[in-house]
Amino acid sequence: MPVLYDRLLKLKEMFNSKFGSIPKFYVRAPGRVNIIGEHIDYCGYSVLPMAIEQDVLIAVEPVKTYTLQLANTNPLYPDFSTSANNIQIDKTKALWHNYFLCGLKGIQEHFGLSNLTGMNCLVDGNIPPSSGLSSSSALVCCAGLVTLTVLGRNLSKVELAEICAKSERYIGTEGGGMDQSISFLAEEGTAKLIEFSPLRATDVKLPSGAVFVIANSCVEMNKAATSHFNIRVMECRLAAKLLAKYKNLQWDNVLRLEEVQAKLGISLEEMLLVTEDALHPEPYNPEEICRCLGISLEELRTQILSPNTQGVLIFKLYQRAKHVYSEAARVLQFKKICEEAPENMVQLLGELMNQSHMSCQDMYECSCPELDQLVDICRKFGAQGSRLTGAGWGGCTVSIVPADKLPSFLANVHKAYYQRSDGSLAPEKQSLFATKPGGGALVFLEA
Positions annotated as catalytic residues are: 179
Are 430 and 129 contacting, i.e. CB atoms less than 8 angstroms apart? no
Task: Return the number of other C-beta atoms located less than 10 Å from residue 7's C-beta.
Answer: 18
Question: How far are the Cα atoms of 128, 164, 271 from residue 371, in angstroms, in the given order?
Answer: 16, 29, 29
Q: How many Å apart are CA 212 and CA 328, to the nearest integer?
A: 21
Q: What is the dihedral of CA 260, 265, 268, 272, to 10 degrees?
A: -60
Are 179 and 134 contacting, i.e. CB atoms less than 8 angstroms apart? yes
Are 300 and 290 contacting, i.e. CB atoms less than 8 angstroms apart? yes
198 cis-preceded (ω within 30 degrees of 0): yes
Nearest to 161 by CA among 433, 378, 441, 411: 441
- 50 CB-near residues (< 8 Å, 6+ apart): 32, 33, 35, 182, 186, 190, 191, 192, 206, 212, 435, 437, 438
Task: Return the number of other C-beta atoms located less than 10 Å from residue 5's C-beta.
Answer: 11
Q: How many Å apart are CA 22 and CA 14, to the nearest integer?
A: 10
Q: How many Å apart are CA 308 and CA 364, to the nearest integer?
A: 19
Q: How many Å apart are CA 322 and CA 311, to the nearest integer?
A: 24
Nearest to 400 by CA among 411, 413, 384, 423: 384
Instruction: Report DSSP letters for 267-317, one per residue.
Output: -HHHHHHHHHHH--SSPB-HHHHHHHHT--HHHIIIIIS-GGGTT---B-H
Q: Cα–chain-centroid distance for residue 75?
A: 25
Q: How many Å apart are CA 134 and CA 127, to the nearest integer?
A: 8
Name the residue type at position 374: L
- 230 CB-near residues (< 8 Å, 6+ apart): 172, 173, 174, 306, 308, 309
Are 151 and 111 contacting, i.e. CB atoms less than 8 angstroms apart? yes
